[in-house]
């Protein structure tokens, strides 16, 4: 038996709240760089107030030249536990810029050395399922076979299933195969961290996520999937000869099938997400005139505890001492 110990996720939620509050001012204004910059600035300031020795393993900005919390950056006060950090200050910068649903601010943390370092990989093939179906799927099985097995594990018919797929040209054949199998599809322009979470969240009408998305987002998603007991099967999926060559030079085998246990090597993982633009997954930031309301998902893998946090922020008081100017 152990006495209750610090739940780092309850500190981390302040980090994603700060990023969401600062970036939500840019909702629908068509400027994804400034929205991302606002989130990065708030997230960095908030992280550096935490008593951790953090190192960014999964950063953001390298692919689209956005403002960065860069890979290798050190976060925290330098005291406390040594941890790997995965961040996406705005997951879905286009969603934020164009006022579309499901933009979120996301952080995952695990003990130092526990997170998979994807190196120069930008893209990976992913198959995400909830706990009930984690032992019945295979990344190389035909789409119809996987969907049939998932449906049986979930006690559903195949035509009851909803599959999350990014609406990209690369998924044309995948979409055709899903439809031929009889399953239904939710097509989303962006946001495959949210898609992974929807697939393992019993509150949401999504049963599985399929397709190729961001590799950094895959590692970040794995923090939550492991905490929730689901499964992600993944394989690095370079989209250019340059990316493939960089992976070979880095010693990455693009034939390897990765799982949540190889992407995050421990159950002692923390994951938090705060809604920015709102949607089916998390409500977005709602400004009230004298403050704002945020909604967050907070997970601790070791205990399996999942919290939904509604926070009411009073700007008049916060602005007396906050370095982040939310108003």
- The two tokens of residue 29 are 């204004």
CA distance 142 to 126: 14
pTM reported for the whole predicted model = 0.93
Domain C-terminal end among 263, 287, 311: 263
Domain C-terminal end among 218, 246, 263: 263
Q: Are residues 256 and 153 in the same domain?
A: yes
Asked, for residue 229, whether it belongs to a domain, the answer is yes
Q: Are residues 140 and 228 in the same domain?
A: yes
Let me know: does 207 contact 199? Beta carbons within 8 Å.
Answer: yes
192 is in an annotated binding site: yes
Instruction: Walk along the chain (327 residues) and give the pLDDT tens digit of each residue.
Output: 565 677 899 999 999 999 999 999 999 999 999 999 999 999 999 999 999 999 999 986 454 444 578 888 999 999 999 999 999 999 999 999 999 999 999 999 999 999 999 989 999 999 999 999 999 999 999 999 999 999 999 999 999 999 999 999 999 999 999 999 999 999 999 999 999 999 999 899 999 999 999 999 999 999 999 999 999 999 999 989 999 999 999 999 999 999 999 999 999 999 999 999 988 889 999 999 889 999 999 999 999 999 999 999 998 887 677 777 766
217 is in an annotated binding site: yes
Q: Are residues 179 and 65 in the same domain?
A: no
Domain C-terminal end among 263, 285, 304: 263
310 is in an annotated binding site: no
CA distance 94 to 83: 30
60 is in an annotated binding site: yes
169 is in an annotated binding site: yes
157 is in an annotated binding site: no
Domain holding 274: CATH number?
Answer: 3.30.540.10
Asked, for residue 308, whether it belongs to a domain, the answer is yes
CA distance 216 to 60: 8
36 is in an annotated binding site: yes
Q: Are residues 133 and 173 in the same domain?
A: yes
Asked, for residue 134, whether it belongs to a domain, the answer is yes
Q: Are residues 105 and 48 in the same domain?
A: yes
Q: Are residues 67 and 171 in the same domain?
A: no
Which range marks the domain in which residue 26 is found?
8-114+268-319
Q: Are residues 91 and 109 in the same domain?
A: yes
214 is in an annotated binding site: yes
Asked, for residue 327, whether it belongs to a domain, the answer is no
Q: Are residues 60 and 108 in the same domain?
A: yes
Domain holding 249: CATH number?
Answer: 3.40.190.90
Q: Are residues 159 and 194 in the same domain?
A: yes
Asked, for residue 52, whether it belongs to a domain, the answer is yes
Q: Are residues 71 and 16 in the same domain?
A: yes
91 is in an annotated binding site: yes
Cβ neighbours of 241 (radius 10 Å): 8
Asked, for residue 198, whether it belongs to a domain, the answer is yes
Give the chain's domain count.
2
113 is in an annotated binding site: no
Q: Which class for 146: exposed (0-12), middle (13-18), buried (19 or more C-beta within 10 A)?
A: buried
120 is in an annotated binding site: no
Asked, for residue 81, whether it belongs to a domain, the answer is yes
Q: Are residues 96 and 154 in the same domain?
A: no
Quote the DSSP letter at residue 121.
-
Pairing of strands 82-91, 104-111: antiparallel
**Would you state the pLDDT for residue 315?**
83
Number of residues in the chain? 327
Distances (CA, A) of 209 to 21, 175, 212, 253: 28, 12, 10, 23
3-class DSSP string for 50-117:
CCCEEEEEECECCCCCCCCECCCCEECCCCCCEEEEEEEEEECHHHHHCCCCCCEEEEEEEECCCECC
243 is in an annotated binding site: no
DSSP bridge pairs for 127: 210, 233
Q: Are residues 171 and 279 in the same domain?
A: no
Asked, for residue 324, whether it belongs to a domain, the answer is no
């Amino acid at each position: 038996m152990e006495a209750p110990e610090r739940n780092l996720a309850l500190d981390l939620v302040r980090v994603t709240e700060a990023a969401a509050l600062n970036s939500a001012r840019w909702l629908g204004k068509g400027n994804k760089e400034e929205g991302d910059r606002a989130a990065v600035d708030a997230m960095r300031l908030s992280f550096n107030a935490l008593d951790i020795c953090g190192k960014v393993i999964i950063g953001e900005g390298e692919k689209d030249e956005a403002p960065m919390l860069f890979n290798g950056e050190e976060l925290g006060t330098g005291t406390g536990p040594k941890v790997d950090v995965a961040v996406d200050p705005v997951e879905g910068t286009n969603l934020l810029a164009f006022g579309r649903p499901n933009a979120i601010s996301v952080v995952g943390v695990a003990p130092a050395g526990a997170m998979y370092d994807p190196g120069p990989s930008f893209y990976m093939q992913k198959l995400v399922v909830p706990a009930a179906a984690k032992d019945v799927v295979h990344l190389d099985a035909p789409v119809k076979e996987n969907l049939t097995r998932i449906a049986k594990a979930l006690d559903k018919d195949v035509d009851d299933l909803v599959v999350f797929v990014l609406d990209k040209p690369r998924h044309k054949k995948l979409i055709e195969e899903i439809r031929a199998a009889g399953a239904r599809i939710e097509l989303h322009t962006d946001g495959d961290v949210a898609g992974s979470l929807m697939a393992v969240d019993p509150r949401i009408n999504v049963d599985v996520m399929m397709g190729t998305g961001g590799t950094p987002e895959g590692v970040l998603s794995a923090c939550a999937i492991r905490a929730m007991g689901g499964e992600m099967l993944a394989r690095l999926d370079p989209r250019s000869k340059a990316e493939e060559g960089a992976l070979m030079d880095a010693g990455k085998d693009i034939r390897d099938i990765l799982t949540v246990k190889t992407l995050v090597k421990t159950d002692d993982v923390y994951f938090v997400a705060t809604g920015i633009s709102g949607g089916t997954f998390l409500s977005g930031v709602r400004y009230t005139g004298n403050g704002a309301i945020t909604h967050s998902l907070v997970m601790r893998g070791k205990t399996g505890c999942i919290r939904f946090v509604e926070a009411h922020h009073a700007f008049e008081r916060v602005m007396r001492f906050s370095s982040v100017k939310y108003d």
